[in-house]
Homo-oligomer: A and B are copies of this chain.
Amino acid sequence: MRKSVAGRLKNALALSYQQNHRRWFLSSSHSRFFSSSPPVLDSAASTSMANSSSSPSPSPLTLQTINPKVVRSSVTALHFQVLKCEYAVRGEIVTLAQRLQEELQKNPGSHPFDEILYCNIGNPQSLGQQPITFFREVLALCDHPAILDKSETQGLFSADAIERAWQILDQIPGRATGAYSHSQGIKGLRDAIAAGIEARDGYPANPNDIFLTDGASPAVHMMMQLLIRSEKDGILCPIPQYPLYSASIALHGGTLVPYYLDEASGWGLETFELKKQLEAAKSKGISVRALVVINPGNPTGQVLAEGNQRDIVEFCKQEGLVLLADEVYQENVYVPDKEFHSFKKVSRSMGYGEEDIALVSFQSVSKGYYGECGKRGGYMEVTGFSADIREQIYKVASVNLCSNISGQILASLVMSPPKVGDESYESYRAERDGILSSLARRAKTLEDAFNNLEGITCNKAEGAMYLFPCINLPQKAIKAAEAAKTAPDAFYAHRLLNATGIVFVPGSGFGQVPGTWHFRCTILPQEDKIPAIVSRLTDFHKGFMDEFRD
Interface residues of A (CB under 8 A from B): 48, 51-52, 55-63, 65-71, 73-74, 86-87, 90, 121, 123-128, 131, 133, 136-137, 139-141, 143-144, 146-147, 150, 152-153, 155-157, 173-174, 176-181, 183, 214-215, 217-218, 221, 225-229, 244, 247-248, 251-252, 289-290, 320-322, 354-356, 358, 366, 371-376, 384-386, 388-389, 392, 395-396, 398-407
CB neighbours (8 Å) of A356 from chain B are 58
Going nearest first, the 3 A-B pairs with the smallest beta carbon separation are A140-B144, A126-B179, A374-B405
Given contacts A87-B395, A247-B399, A375-B405, 19 further A-B contacts (CB under 8 A): A55-B386, A58-B355, A59-B386, A61-B227, A62-B386, A67-B228, A67-B229, A70-B225, A70-B226, A86-B399, A126-B173, A126-B174, A126-B179, A136-B146, A140-B143, A218-B400, A376-B405, A404-B404, A406-B406
A143, A174, A248: residue with the most chain B Cβ atoms closer than 10 Å? A143
Q: Which residues of B contact A157 (CB under 8 A)?
A: 147
Q: Which residues of B contact A152 (CB under 8 A)?
A: 152-153, 155-156
When distances are taken between beta carbons in the complex, the residues of chain B under 8 Å from A396 are 70, 73, 251
Whether A214 contacts B395 in the complex (CB less than 8 A), given A70-B226, A384-B58, comes out as: no
Q: Is the CB of B401 within 8 A of A215?
A: yes
How far is B164's CA from A338's CA once the two chains are assembled, in angstroms?
Answer: 46
**Nearest-CB distance from A528 to chain B (Å)?**
15
Contact A375 B178 (CB under 8 A): yes
Please tell me if the beta carbons of A87 and B398 are within 8 angstroms of each other in the complex. Answer: yes
Q: A60 with B358: in contact, given A374-B181, A392-B71, A406-B375 (CB under 8 Å)? A: yes
Contacts of A376 in B (CB 8 A): 214, 402-405
Determine whether the beta carbon of B126 is less than 8 Å from that of A176.
yes
Closest to A250 in B: B399
Q: Bound complex: CA of A303 vs CA of B218, how far in Å?
A: 34
Please indicate the chain B residues that have their CB under 8 angstroms from the CB of A55 in the complex.
Answer: 386
Asked if A59 meets B137 with Cβ closer than 8 Å, knowing A87-B395, A215-B401, A406-B404, the reply is no
Q: How many identical subunits does the complex contain?
A: 2
Q: Shortest Cβ distance from A505 into chain B, in angstroms? A: 14
28 pairs from A and B in contact (CB 8 Å cutoff): A51-B388, A52-B388, A58-B354, A58-B355, A58-B386, A59-B322, A61-B227, A63-B389, A66-B227, A66-B389, A66-B392, A70-B226, A73-B396, A86-B398, A87-B395, A124-B179, A125-B177, A126-B179, A126-B180, A128-B174, A139-B143, A140-B147, A150-B155, A152-B155, A156-B156, A180-B366, A217-B401, A376-B403
Q: Which residues of B contact A401 (CB under 8 A)?
A: 90, 215, 217, 373
Centre residue among A181, A214, A225 by max chain B CB count within 10 A: A214
